[in-house]
Structure 1
Amino acid sequence: MRAYRFIWSRFMAVASPFDHASRRERLRSLLVTSDLELLVVSRGVHVRYLTGFTGDSTVLLVGRKQDLLVSDGRYTEQLARECAGLAAHVRPSSQKLVDAVPEVIRAQGVNRVGVESASITLAEMERWRELLPAVAWKSCQGLVEGLRVVKDARELQEIQLAVELAQKAYTTWRHGGFSPGTTEKQASDQLEFTLRGIGAQESAFPLIIAGDDGAALPHYHPTAKVLPENGVLLVDWGAQTVHGYKSDLTRTTLLGKGPKPFPQTPELEPAHQAVRTAQMAAIPWLKPGVECSQVDKAVRESLAKVNLEQYFVHGTGHGFGLEIHEAPWFRHGNPEKLQAGMVVTIEPGVYFPERWGIRVEDDFLVTPEGGVCLSDLPRGLELGPRS
């Protein structure tokens, strides 16, 4: 996979501020084609993507000529710092946000308003219709998501940093070994501490540290179970940068001091190799114009050759960035086509209930020339120290 990394330098630029204004301009151009005069952006991650604001309880109104944030007094100073030059309406503490938004919309004098229907409640929508009965409301999905799916150069830098932080933390944590009696939860806490200690804001998601049969659960939660002295260790982890961008990696290795900690399961190494081969089978398809379903198909066909497809119980991968799970989605029947600038995971796995599971996950950038692997940690089943 290292061979793909040379393309990376062609996609990078010198670090620069996030250009939130340009993002809003791109969204503004979509208002015309959607026959909207204004869009109510209510998803917190979308508000952050379009403005840089990191607080909550705040809505962004994007109009054809101007933009306006609707927030409250807790964030007056924060808005001035993070969103300099962007107008803001600060509602009084006696007024609810659900009532402030239509008040501001009324002042704009608009009649055709779009809402992010996936992020508002039915009660909120009914209240807005009650307060603004003359407005033609339109349910909108995918407008901001469509912008976010292709990362700009600044975002790519941030994601690469998230990958590097995750890899450095894992290497430090893993090489330190585990003292006898260490539980999955304690190991998870240690990795979280290591991530933050090297510069990550926090982990990108709740960490998965799974020993033996716990590894057979794809979305396992670490417990008070002691790590096996000789057994499987599956680690699914990632870092989040101070600007909110994430990484997502998985490695499956063995714990133990002996050369053959698994004499009772000789199929473990072939299964691990099959998962790695399946991941490699997906890489040639990571290029613009390829349907997401084709990437998923390549992985499943690879596993089917060794009769392991039935043990692969989830999608092949997904996009990520400000969220750990974003479009595109590598799954059967998804016709969405890859575009240059998408950042995705490829994460095949096989799971044997009450025994063990194996997953190998890496992060990739789609470029005009093909897939670039952003992560380069060893993927083998090499033995790790118990202490």
Structure 2
Amino acid sequence: MSSQRFDAGVYGRRIAAARSATAQAGLAGLVITPGYDLRYLLGSRAQTFERLTALVLPVSGEPTVVVPRLELAALRQSAVTDLGLAVRDWVDGDNPYQLVAAAMGGAPAATAVTDSMPALHLLPLADVLGVVPVLATDVLRELRMVKDAAEVDVLRKAGAAIDRVHARVPEFLVPGRTEADVAADIAEAIVAEGHSEVAFVIVGSGPHGADPHHEFSDREIQIGDIVVVDIGGAYAPGYNSDSTRTYSIGDPSPEVAQQYSVLQRAQRAAVEAVRPGVTAEQVDAAAREVLADAGLAEYFVHRTGHGIGLSVHEEPYIVAGNDLPLLAGMAFSVEPGIYFPGQWGARIEDIVVVSDDGAQPVNNGPHELIVVAV
């Protein structure tokens, strides 16, 4: 595995699985433009421009990459060459959509496209194909949700790296420093501990901790604050970490300690509910029921979790109403929280991978309210 992508065999198996799923869906083929789906299938970090780049996967016929000639060099960083895929390059003045149609076999046929395809490519492609494509989401959904061994290995490394960052957070949480000061130190640590880039940093102190999507501000850390620290980064070749821990600047009040202990039980209950065959909404309910029994249900204002991989947020979503049965290899966050507007908040988040008989967390830091000595 290079720092940019997995070995070519990984992508060869993914392309074969995608073509098989396409056939089972009764479609003639897939057209995948730059984005997470293309990165998943080819290891390509190509970006979307006004010039079309696309992987064409017909059910009958050979996979073909349509690419502007001026992007050929960048394409070679993907698995295209190692896999021996056909490449059809084009220059300004050519019609790349006709190249896609030719790779699909020429006749109008039911085609699926990645959900990130821009309209500036979708509309002319539909015109040339003679049919309006459908979204490939359902075709690629299960493939991307169920992680293979290579992906799980990287998620574990990313989880260990972000655990090392959390272990350093108490040294940054000094009263009088701002959330922004702390966030800058954390961002530097995310890279220093092995990530290729920072995905996000949330430092929510005191009343800011009651906003689940607060980022950071110029508010100064104060003695007595409860601080929510939610952080993550991309780990080569691009899989994300995401972990939240909650810190107390000095000893917490008895009420805070008691309510936090309920949250800790809720998070543990949700993790313990994870196993193949259990639905996503049942995991959500496991966390919610513990909080409800303690009278804290109204302070848990978001879903229990989200899938993770090449994207920080992807399927499966661990939320009420999602009756999707879990499968071994699925990876997602388990992150209940409690939020008291204008006062404080807390969240505990681990990434877990569904195993044959339960959940294997990739995060192994302490779940207790972490007291920072002052």
What TM-score do the two structures reach when normalised by structure 2?
0.90
**One of 164, 176, 184 as aligned partner of 1:181:** 176
Alpha-carbon spacing, 1:382–1:214, altered in 2? closer, same or farther (3 Å):
same
**One of 274, 283, 290 as aligned partner of 1:295:** 283
Structure 2 residue 298 is the aligned partner of structure 1 residue 310? yes
1:295 and 1:54 mapped to 2: Cα distance?
Answer: 34
Counterpart in the other structure of 2:3: none
RMSD, matched Cα: 2.2
Identity of aligned residues (%): 29
- 1:339 deviates by 0.2
1:30 and 1:116 mapped to 2: Cα distance?
Answer: 14
1:175 and 1:308 mapped to 2: Cα distance?
Answer: 28
Structure 2 residue 335 is the aligned partner of structure 1 residue 347? yes
Structure 2 residue 16 is the aligned partner of structure 1 residue 17? no
Counterpart in the other structure of 1:128: 125
- 1:116 deviates by 2.7
Counterpart in the other structure of 1:13: none
5+ residue gaps in structure 1? Answer: 1-15
* 1:162-216 C-alpha deviation (Å, 9 max, x unpaired): 00111112213x243345532111211111111112221112x321111001100
Alpha-carbon spacing, 1:179–1:281, altered in 2? closer, same or farther (3 Å):
closer
Counterpart in the other structure of 1:162: 158
2:47 and 2:129 mapped to 1: Cα distance?
Answer: 24
C-alpha contact (below 8 Å) 1:348/1:360 kept by paired residues: yes
2:103 and 2:305 mapped to 1: Cα distance?
Answer: 44
2:71 and 2:46 mapped to 1: Cα distance?
Answer: 7
Counterpart in the other structure of 2:345: 357
Counterpart in the other structure of 2:75: 79
Alpha-carbon spacing, 1:108–1:382, altered in 2? closer, same or farther (3 Å):
closer
- 1:372 deviates by 1.3
1:93 and 1:193 mapped to 2: Cα distance?
Answer: 42
2:255 and 2:70 mapped to 1: Cα distance?
Answer: 58
| Secondary structure, counterpart of 1:267 in structure 2 | helix
Name the amino acid aligned to 2:343: R
Residues 108-147 of structure 1: matches in 2 within 5 Å? 108-110=104-106, 111-116=108-113, 118-122=115-119, 124-133=121-130, 135=131, 137-147=133-143
What TM-score do the two structures reach when normalised by structure 1?
0.87
Name the amino acid aligned to 1:144: L
* 1:288-322 C-alpha deviation (Å, 9 max, x unpaired): 11111111111111111110011100001121111
Name the amino acid aligned to 2:109: R
1:120 and 1:240 mapped to 2: Cα distance?
Answer: 23
C-alpha contact (below 8 Å) 1:163/1:239 kept by paired residues: no
Name the amino acid aligned to 1:141: T
Alpha-carbon spacing, 1:51–1:102, altered in 2? closer, same or farther (3 Å):
same
C-alpha contact (below 8 Å) 2:55/2:65 kept by paired residues: yes
2:173 and 2:303 mapped to 1: Cα distance?
Answer: 32
2:14 and 2:56 mapped to 1: Cα distance?
Answer: 14
2:345 and 2:200 mapped to 1: Cα distance?
Answer: 19
Aligned residues: 360
Counterpart in the other structure of 2:91: 92
- 1:122 deviates by 4.5
**One of 168, 193, 201 as aligned partner of 1:207:** 201
- 1:93 deviates by 4.5
C-alpha contact (below 8 Å) 2:32/2:114 kept by paired residues: no
C-alpha contact (below 8 Å) 1:178/1:385 kept by paired residues: no
C-alpha contact (below 8 Å) 1:275/1:350 kept by paired residues: yes
* 1:17-52 C-alpha deviation (Å, 9 max, x unpaired): 361011000111122222222211135101011011
Counterpart in the other structure of 1:62: 57
C-alpha contact (below 8 Å) 1:166/1:238 kept by paired residues: yes
Counterpart in the other structure of 1:231: 225
5+ residue gaps in structure 2? Answer: 1-5
